[in-house]
Amino acid sequence: MKIVIRESADEASKIAAQHIVDKATPGMKLGVATGSSPLPLYKYLREARAEGTFSLRGSTAWALDEYVGIPADHEERYRNVLRRELVGDDRTGLFEEDLHTPDGLAENPHLAAAEYDREIGDGVDIQILGLGQNGHIGFNEPASSLSSRTHVDVLTKTTRQDNARFFDGNPDLVPSHCITQGLGTIMSAKDIIVVAFGETKARALKQLMEGGVSQRWPATVLQHHPSVTIFADKDAVSQLELLTYYRQISL
């Protein structure tokens, strides 16, 4: 596991964006997270697009997850969030039809999840992940199978509280179910980057890097992946036992 530690989320995100720009290949499959952590990274990808050093034209983007039952025109529907961030010539060059998201409005979300997993095939080229306070990646909450494929899951109370900020501060307005790529699906990505910022992520990041692999902290499964880079700010790394060493090897 590699780590990049910087003072601020913005500095770390700039390097994360450069990592993607450097590794991008024409027609690649890019796995994209929502939530607030990747937003500065997306801003830097848009800047790179404007400068002509990066383009998602002809590439495909694959969302990690989607809320079940959220109305098609809801601002917080992940498809709409990703469309705002990434789609269009003046954004990253990604075509709307090349943005793939699980169908949270399907009559049978379980079938939609299986179909999405089939479409992802043998995995994305680069997967961007955020990290839940409770150690989730995607919406694989504690007790998720470490080898699960895309499936319907139930959001924990913690996650609904965390995400209430996107729903008028009211956790009851956060959908209770989602379709999420499974941990096995995420692990099939060839290259993974994790963006984790702020003190609220410190405990989960400690588990991710230094804890035992366990479904109690789903992100710990990443310890088994050969190509993971963590991009973190100084607050997110504050609980790491080997912090002095990680600062030494930080890219």
From 137, 179, 194, 204, residue interacting with ligand F6R (rule: CB under 6 A): 137
From 13, 37, 188, 220, residue interacting with ligand F6R (rule: CB under 6 A): 37
From 18, 36, 156, 215, residue interacting with ligand F6R (rule: CB under 6 A): 36
Closest contact distance (angstroms) between CB of 69 and ligand F6R is 17
Q: Which residues make Cβ contacts (< 8 Å) with residue 231, sequence separation at least 6?
A: 4, 6, 12, 13, 15, 16, 19, 41, 193, 194, 195, 196
Closest contact distance (angstroms) between CB of 197 and ligand F6R is 8
Residue 106 main-chain phi, psi, to 5 deg = -60, 145
User: What is each CA distance from 106 to 112, 145, 237, in whole angstroms?
Assistant: 6, 24, 40
Closest contact distance (angstroms) between CB of 33 and ligand F6R is 4
- Considering only residues 52 to 71 of the shown chain, the ones binding ligand F6R according to CB under 6 A are 64-65
Cα–chain center distance at 29: 14
Q: Which is nearer to ligand F6R, 54 or 139 (CB)?
A: 139
- Considering only residues 76 to 135 of the shown chain, the ones binding ligand F6R according to CB under 6 A are 130-132
44 binding ligand F6R? (CB under 6 A) = no
Rounded to whole angstroms, how far apart are CA atoms 124 and 33? 13
User: What is each CA distance from 199 to 38, 192, 212, 236, 240, in whole angstroms?
Assistant: 16, 22, 21, 5, 12
Which strands, in side-by-side order, build the sheet including 177-180? 65-67, 177-180, 151-154
Closest contact distance (angstroms) between CB of 138 and ligand F6R is 5
Strand partners, 60: 29
Q: In terms of DSSP bridges, do strands 99-100 and 2-6 run parallel, antiparallel, or are they unpaired?
A: unpaired
Q: Which is nearer to ligand F6R, 56 or 82 (CB)?
A: 82
139 binding ligand F6R? (CB under 6 A) = yes
35 binding ligand F6R? (CB under 6 A) = yes
Q: Which is nearer to ligand F6R, 48 or 129 (CB)?
A: 129
3-state secondary structure of 75: coil
Q: Which is nearer to ligand F6R, 24 or 195 (CB)?
A: 195
- Considering only residues 219 to 248 of the shown chain, the ones binding ligand F6R according to CB under 6 A are none
Which amino acids are annotated catalytic?
A: 65, 134, 136, 141
From 104, 109, 138, 182, residue interacting with ligand F6R (rule: CB under 6 A): 138
Rounded to whole angstroms, how far apart are CA atoms 120 and 89? 24
Q: Packing angle between helix 39-51 and helix 9-23, nearest 10 degrees?
A: 50
Closest contact distance (angstroms) between CB of 52 and ligand F6R is 29
Give the binding site for ligand F6R (CB under 6 A). Answer: 33-37, 64-65, 130-132, 136-139
